[in-house]
Structure 1
Amino acid sequence: FHIQDTASQTAAAVLAPKSGDHVLDMCAAPGGKSFTLAEIMENKGEITACDLYEQRVGLIKKGAERLGLDIIKPVCADASVFNPEFGQFDCILCDVPCSGLGVLRRKPDIKYRKPEDLSALAELQKKILKNALLYLKKGGRLLYSTCTLRHEENEKLVNSVIMEYNDVHKAYEHTYMPHIDKTDGFYCALLIKEDNTAIG
C-alpha cells in the first residue's frame, strides 16, 4: 500500500483512466498519484511517469516495483519541454509544481517564499499545462492540479490557457478547503480535448 491525502486520491478518480489506456503523469515523483492511477487501471495499459531529476525518477521506479505495478514507465524528462517521441495519450495528469499553500499545516516554511518566486511559478505552470495539451489525444482527458489555494495558480491560470484553444473545454473543477473538507488544500480541473472528427 501507499499513503496519500484524500484530495490527491480523488484527483486520480476524477481523471478516471480506463484499463488499457496510455497515460502521462507529467510531474510524477515520488509517484503516489501514478500508483493510484495504475491501481484504477487494474495494472493494464501504460503510464509514462516523468520527473526532472534522475534521483526522483528512481523513487517512482522503486515504489512501482514494491507495489508490483509494472505498467508504470519512469522517465527523466522536463515537463515544460515538448518531446515528440512521447506521442499521444488518452489521459494526462498535470500535477504541477506550486506554492504549496494548501499544505501549510505540514510544511510551514512555505510561507517564507518571495512574491517573485510565485510569479515565476505561474509561468512554469502555464508552460507545463500548454505542453501537456500537445500530448493529449482528441477526445482525451487532462487533469490539472495543485496543492495551493491561490487563484493565480488555479482557476485564473486554467481559464487563461483554455481561452487560447478552441477545442479544449473545462468539464469539472473543485477546490478542496482544509477547514471544510478535512484534507490538504487542493485544486483540480478536468479538461477535455474535443474530437471534432467524431460523427454526430
Structure 2
Amino acid sequence: MHFSFIEIVSAFMVLFAVIDIIGAIPILVDLKKKGGEIKALKASVVALVVLIGFTFLGEKLLGLFGVDISSFAIAGSFILFIMGVEMALGIEIIKYDGPSGVSIVPIAFPLVAGAGSFTSVVALRAEYALENIIAALVLNLFIVYLVLRSTSIVERFLGEGGIHILRKVFGIILLAISVKLFMTNVAVSIRTLIPMIKEVL
C-alpha cells in the first residue's frame, strides 16, 4: 500500500464537491419531516459500502446487466427530479414508510451514493491509487455522518419559515441539477449510439 497525503486530499475534495452534503441540508430537513427519523450511522455506512463496492466492481456490475454509467445516471436523474418536484410544489409522490424510512432511499442512494459520485470514483481510479480513494471516501462519509446527525440542530436554528423558504429554493435547484444530469448523459448516450447506427446503415 502506498498512501499519499496529496492524493487523499485531492480525491477528498473532488468527492466532497460531488456529494455536496452541506448543500443537501435543506433536502435532509424536508425528508426528516416527511419520513421520520434519519438514521445517520445506517445511511452513512450503507453509502460507504455501496461506493467502495462500486469503486471495485461498478463498471463490471453494470456491464452484467448491459447498463452503462450514462444510463445509470439518467435513471438517478429521474429520482432527483421527483424529489425536486416534491420540494418545489409541496406535494408528496414518493412514500417513505418502509422500515428504513428515508435513511437508505433517497439519502444513502441517490443523494450520497448517486450517479455523480459513482462516475467520480470510476474517474479517480484512473488517476489515484485505490487505497487513497478509499481513504478519501471514508473521510467524506464521516462528514456525511456528522451532517446527518446535525439535522435537528439545523431545523431548530432555521425555524418553520426558514425551512419553508429553503425547501422551495432548493427544490428548484434540485430540479435544475436533475435536468442537467439527464441532458448531459443523454448527450453521451447519443454520441455512443451514432457510430453504431452508422455501422448498421
TM range (shorter): under 0.3
Q: Which has the larger radius of gyration?
A: 2
TM-score, L = length of structure 2: 0.23
Which structure exhibits the higher relative contact order, with contacts defined as CA atoms closer than 8 Å and separated by 6 or more residues?
Answer: 2
Name whichever structure is richer in strand by fraction. Answer: 1
Name whichever structure is richer in helix by fraction. Answer: 2
